[in-house]
Amino acid sequence: MSAPHTPVERSDFDQVIVPTFAPAAFIPVRGEGSRVWDQSGRELIDLTGGIAVNVLGHAHPALVQALTEQAGKLWHISNIFTNEPALRLAKKLVDATFAERAFFCNSGAEANEAAFKLARRYAHDVFGSEKYEIISAVNSFHGRTLFTVTVGGQPKYSDGFGPKIEGIKHVPYNDLEALKAAISDKTCAVVLEPIQGESGVLPAEQAYLEGARKLCDEHGALLIFDEVQTGLGRTGELFAYMHYGVTPDILTNAKSLGGGFPIGMMLTTDKVAQHFSVGTHGTTFGGNPLACAVAETVVDIVNTPEVLQGVRDRHERLKAGLLELGERYGVFSQVRGMGLLIGCVLNEAWKGRAREIFDAAEQEALMLLQAGPDVIRLAPSLVIEEADIVEGLARFERALAKLTKA
């Protein structure tokens, strides 16, 4: 038996945690499906999915079983040895996608860090040392390491940390002409989110991704899709690139892959993968048996026609409900996104007030997300129950009713 826990409360956060976040006023202690309970026993509806992470909700029995079974066998062994869960997971991902090789790590930022380094190394080996430019999109988000914030298109995240990594260009998203003007034979990679998640749930246009693919081919550049947020069923396909029929050379994913257990990955082709030879890149924890055992179970469950169709059905259901709320209370100009990554864009009158809506929802025991100051984001469990959708919408309505009356 472990020793009894010291009691803690929300105010402790402001004393002992580095203040990079401003968490909500309550502390969640338990979750089941799309419901969460806080310290006081209050029951909340969770439409955040831990920011597009908990694809199967909280405490899914199959994931609990996979984790606890593996916990009794082997937690960590390092990459001096390989392990069965990592090999099984890689095989399943290779079978299900364009990719021939997988690299496992622990987060989205690490997956992108690997992708950017690989693209540069590939270009260096194949074309020479002058081909190192990376083009990404304005407002894109790729993680918080120095390389990934620099590639990300939000200077507020990359300014003030000393010299930046050189050779990064930013172009407006969904603007093919701008990409055409920026790309050159010095470009080693173009990196795009098929749906810009953090900056407002903004999907790419079909012609944009097709055009980006063509431009990359013409200039010997690799196309990287950052599917950290859109991957693993979130959009109603296993990966968003499958919706578009546009295949990248490198794909990154993290959030949903472990269903709540930290794991990230980079998928690529054999040809590109060869340029990460032994010793050129590495990780201590990446591909550890615990994370891979859970992720394998996530893939088994999510990559089925029933679950993926269920995501598309739930999209229609939620979108209809949100559009109705938006109309009744005059708050949204648009409801956009794919599958269960949905953005409610606030109209002129409500611009900049996403935090107020977030707070009002919390008062009604509903967990929502923001994506910037102008968009309310929903990224619930892919298997959220109909009853939780109904109750979630009812609570959202109460929050909007109170706010709009005030």
Ligand X SMILES: *Cc1c(COP(=O)(O)O)cnc(C)c1O
Assess contact for 346 and 365: CB atoms under 8 A: no
What is the distance of C-alpha 243 from the center of its chain? 17
Question: How near is the Cβ of 110 to ligand X at its closest, in Å?
Answer: 7
Question: How near is the Cβ of 121 to ligand X at its closest, in Å?
Answer: 20
The reply to whether 229 sits in an annotated binding site is: yes
Residue 254 near ligand X by CB under 6 A: yes
Residue 343 near ligand X by CB under 6 A: no
> 196 or 297: whose CB is closer to ligand X?
196
Residue 253 near ligand X by CB under 6 A: no
DSSP-assigned states of every residue in 265-316: EEEE-HHHHTTS-TTSS--SSTT-HHHHHHHHHHHHHHSSHHHHHHHHHHHH
Catalytic residue among 46, 226, 374, 388: 226
The reply to whether 205 sits in an annotated binding site is: no
The reply to whether 299 sits in an annotated binding site is: no
Assess contact for 197 and 51: CB atoms under 8 A: no
Residue 233 near ligand X by CB under 6 A: no
State which of positions 112-151 bind ligand X (CB under 6 A).
112, 141-143
The DSSP call for residue 348 is G
> Residue of minimal CB distance from ligand X?
108
- As a whole number of angstroms, the distance between CA 22 and CA 24 comes to 7
Task: Single out the residue of 108, 248, 289, 321 in contact with ligand X (rule: CB under 6 A).
Answer: 108
Residue 103 near ligand X by CB under 6 A: no
Residue 107 near ligand X by CB under 6 A: yes
State which of positions 173-202 bind ligand X (CB under 6 A).
193, 197-198
Distances (CA, A) of 57 to 9, 52, 85, 314: 25, 10, 22, 14
Assess contact for 122 and 222: CB atoms under 8 A: yes
Place of tokens 């998640």: 197
Contact footprint for ligand X (CB under 6 A)? 107-109, 112, 141-143, 193, 197-198, 226, 228-229, 254-255
Annotated active-site positions, please?
Answer: 141, 226, 255
